[in-house]
Amino acid sequence: MEPLSAHSTRLARAWLKLGLAALIGSGLLALLLVLSRTPGLHNVFPLRDFFRAALVVHVDLSVLVWFMAFAGVLWSLAGNSRWAALGWVGFWLATVGTALIGVAPFFPNSQPLLNNYIPVLQHPVFFTGLTLAAAGFGLTVLRALLTIPPQIKAIATTTPMSAHAALRWAMLLGAIAAALALGSFGGSWLAVSDLQGIARWERLFWGGGHVLQFQHALLVCVAWFWLADALGAPVAVSGRTLLGLFLFAALPLLAVPVIYNQFEIDSGEHMLSFMRLMIYGHALMAPLVLLAVRSLWQVRQRVSPAKSAFLASMGLFVVGGVLAYLIRGANVVIPAHYHGSIVGVTLAFMGLTYVVLPHLGFGSPDGHLARWQPYVYGGGQLLHVLGLAWSGGYGVQRKVAGAEQLLTSLPQKIGMGLMGLGGLIAIIGGVMFVVVCLRAMLPSQHFKT
């Protein structure tokens, strides 16, 4: 990795801390969700009535804040040090926004609405938080577009620099996808004026929510190739070919303005078009995934935290992809797919955190705890995902807790029991990640490699 400017290091460190804080918040709420849905435990768990509000903030802290904050880390590392003030204003707006989202459930009368992608709490504190966070991420995306240099010459060379230049381009494509998603939210917001309640927020976040998935898909591939490079297995194709594959994976983004132009946002066609864009559009990242699997295969290093994360991430992401094609109706196979795919992304970002920490002036995570953490988190999630998929096959509904789940048959109870066991193991894996990172970030560890 090229030497970083002091400014880029400081900004990347700040985004990493916000990302970790969001992951901790989302993990704590996951504990509440799991205990509220596990047979036998949900009867005695006192906070199950808090399930819906917890689900809202669990999703927003994880999918929105953790993912955008980690993108903030990558864009700070890939960009030059210009527009520094823009970077810091963006960061602090997102941080204050996140804090407000985190405390909103504790305000009386904050009604949870479980719409997809960005569920909301109907309370001014939550909406203020979401607006500030969106403004912060918007400025961060703008700065990424202004500061990530498209290195045309480096791409054409046959040196390792060309692959690095291609990854920088891919991070720029990620920022373009983010800008398109923010534009979609703005466009939908202007068009939903007369809708109320859950329908309003479902339509408002539907388009942009699907577009954000392309940002995450592009950046998980960046994380996989960066991990492979750090593990001594540089990508096996030229920078130009790698860039071509990233541009191919980003092609479906061209359909976004067309969908907004063709269909009213409250029309069924609008929603169906974005579902199709997700189902068929993500298939275009298959060449990148295959290339990443090949890189993983070429890793010679026997054990390391980064390798454990790469393996667990790839395994879970593939399971999530397969489950996507098994979704039939609105049952818990949907969160099974979600957790396969997006926790696969989360594991890749966790592995890359281990790689960049020393470059940010912190210690270098190693030892048993760091090497086993991705397997505990990933293994727990795999059980969690398989439990949800099995239960979904027996008709268990999503986003309900306690007795509302109507778990009547033994297969349903076994499935949700497995969900609970896996979820608890995953939460332990999440705590291990926080401990490993905090240990490496302790002042006594700085620059001690």
Q: Which residues bind ligand HEM (CB under 6 A)?
A: 27, 30, 33-34, 37, 55, 58-59, 62-63, 66, 116, 332, 334-335, 338-339, 342-343, 346, 384, 398-399, 423, 426-427, 430
Q: Please, which residue, 87 or 379, has the CB nearer to ligand HEM?
A: 379
Please report how close the Cβ of residue 390 comes to ligand HEM at its closest, in angstroms: 14
Please report how close the Cβ of residue 375 comes to ligand HEM at its closest, in angstroms: 14
Q: Please, which residue, 239 or 420, has the CB nearer to ligand HEM?
A: 420
Integer Cα distance of 93 and 238 in angstroms: 39
Q: Please, which residue, 154 or 332, has the CB nearer to ligand HEM?
A: 332
Terminal-residue alpha carbon distance, the chain: 16
Integer Cα distance of 143 and 306 in angstroms: 29
Please report how close the Cβ of residue 427 comes to ligand HEM at its closest, in angstroms: 5
Element (H, E) at 120: strand 120-122
Beta-carbon contacts of residue 4 (< 8 Å; ≥ 6 apart) = 12, 77, 359, 360
Please report how close the Cβ of residue 50 comes to ligand HEM at its closest, in angstroms: 13
Please report how close the Cβ of residue 247 comes to ligand HEM at its closest, in angstroms: 26
Please report how close the Cβ of residue 15 comes to ligand HEM at its closest, in angstroms: 16
Got the DSSP string for 274-343?
HHHHHHHHGGGGHHHHHHHHHHHHT------HHHHHHHHHHHHHHHHHHHHTT--SSSTHHHHHHHHHHH
Q: Please, which residue, 147 or 381, has the CB nearer to ligand HEM?
A: 381
Residue with tokens 């504190």: 125
Q: Please, which residue, 41 or 145, has the CB nearer to ligand HEM?
A: 41
Q: List Cα–Cα distances, 66 to 71, 195, 276, 417, in angstroms.
A: 9, 29, 26, 28
Q: Please, which residue, 271 or 334, has the CB nearer to ligand HEM?
A: 334
Q: Please, which residue, 68 or 192, has the CB nearer to ligand HEM?
A: 68
Distance of CA 144 to the CA centre of its chain: 18
Per DSSP, 449 falls in state -
Beta-carbon contacts of residue 404 (< 8 Å; ≥ 6 apart) = none
Please report how close the Cβ of residue 193 comes to ligand HEM at its closest, in angstroms: 26
Beta-carbon contacts of residue 285 (< 8 Å; ≥ 6 apart) = 217, 218, 221, 249
Please report how close the Cβ of residue 114 comes to ligand HEM at its closest, in angstroms: 7
Please name every residue paired with 121 in a beta bridge, in sequence order, or none if there are none: 112
Residues 205, 116 contacting (CB under 8 angstroms): yes
For residue 241, the SS3 value is: helix
Please report how close the Cβ of residue 39 comes to ligand HEM at its closest, in angstroms: 13
Q: Please, which residue, 27 or 187, has the CB nearer to ligand HEM?
A: 27
Q: Please, which residue, 66 or 185, has the CB nearer to ligand HEM?
A: 66
